[in-house]
Amino acid sequence: MTELHYEVFVSGMAPAASPPPPDGGPSRWSPLSHTLIYGESEALLTDPPITSAQADTLIEWIEGRHVPLRYIHLTHAHFDHFLTTNRILDRFPDATVVATDAVLRRIARETPGGQISNRYTGFFGDALPEPPVTVHGTVFPAGGLTLDGHELFAVETGHSDTDDTSVLHVPGLGLVVAGDVVYNNMHQYVGEGRDGGLAAWHRALDTVAALSPSVVVASHKDPGRPDSPADIDETRRYLDAAAGVLDHATDATGFFHALKTRYPDRVNPWAIWLSALRLFDN
């Protein structure tokens, strides 16, 4: 059995065409991390990025590892974690897309006819890949799959910042690729947190913590910080702060200012505004 390794590549923030947040700051999509797990003869990539340019840069980086890409794993069905899957498959046609059945079904529902949501075309325009973006994937085996002889598992976590999320567990590396269940010094998208969503997210964090990882890679991460399991509890604390703010805020602007005041140093306050617009869309 060959030794297993992992590396993390971070796609930087992408400008989004959107009204600026109430503080006048920039409208930018948060950084996206992509984990490559590889042995001597095969590799697995998690969560392709959202824009074509990001995907092309990521492709060059993968090629530099000189290991055939066998799998592309999708942790959940937010567009910024699967939209360029087919662009990457064009370069690595022998790779197989794997995800939980719930993730694959949700992606299919959100891309009818292979089309991209107007929400995302409004944000990014022609920076996005050409439709169709239909993802043809295989359900991640319940008993796990092997990569150069090492076992990898897709662990369903339920609701985090959206429904039907999962994480990738690599026991041999003590690694959890946490998708959007865990955030690393980034403002968290809590726009789907009403009606028990924040409490459900806590339960998703319980599931990750029970795996006892030594390394936790967040999909939205500050590239200057380590991939620490301490981010599990940091994510919890942010959720509790968001819940407290949501209990008292009466509109999107008030929510934005209050949560930014609680976390003035986290990266990309525009994510608070994105959350606020969803939470107070009435």
Domains of the chain, first to last: 5-279 (3.60.15.10)
Determine the straight-line distance between the first and last CA of the chain, rounded to whole angstroms: 56
Instruction: State residue 282's pLDDT score.
Output: 59
The burial class, CB within 10 Å (0-12 / 13-18 / 19+), for 87 is buried
Q: How far is CA 182 from the centre of its chain?
A: 9
Is 39:17 a contact under the CB 8 Å cutoff?
A: no
- Which of the residues in the chain have pLDDT under 70? 1, 282
Structure tokens at 139: 């359900």
What's the Cα-to-Cα distance from 119 to each of 188, 189, 262, rounded to whole Å? 19, 16, 28
- E strands of the chain, at which residues? 5-11, 14-15, 28-29, 32-38, 43-46, 69-73, 96-99, 138-139, 145-147, 150-158, 165-170, 175-177, 183-184, 215-217, 220-221
**Is the backbone peptide bond immediately before 269 cis, with ω within 30 degrees of 0?**
no
Rg value, the chain, Cα:
18
- At 39, the amino acid letter reads G
Instruction: State residue 2's pLDDT score.
Output: 81
Is 148:108 a contact under the CB 8 Å cutoff?
A: no
Query: For the segment 183-192, what is each residue's pLDDT rounded down to a tens digit?
Result: 999 999 999 9
Which residues share a beta bridge with 9?
Answer: 34
The burial class, CB within 10 Å (0-12 / 13-18 / 19+), for 1 is exposed
How far apart are the C-alpha atoms of 114 and 132, rounded to whole Å?
Answer: 4
Query: For the segment 211-242, what is each residue's pLDDT rounded down to a tens digit?
Result: 999 999 999 999 999 999 999 999 999 999 99
How far apart are the C-alpha atoms of 36 and 46, rounded to whole Å?
Answer: 7
How far apart are the C-alpha atoms of 278 and 193, rounded to whole Å?
Answer: 10
How far apart are the C-alpha atoms of 231 and 183, rounded to whole Å?
Answer: 7
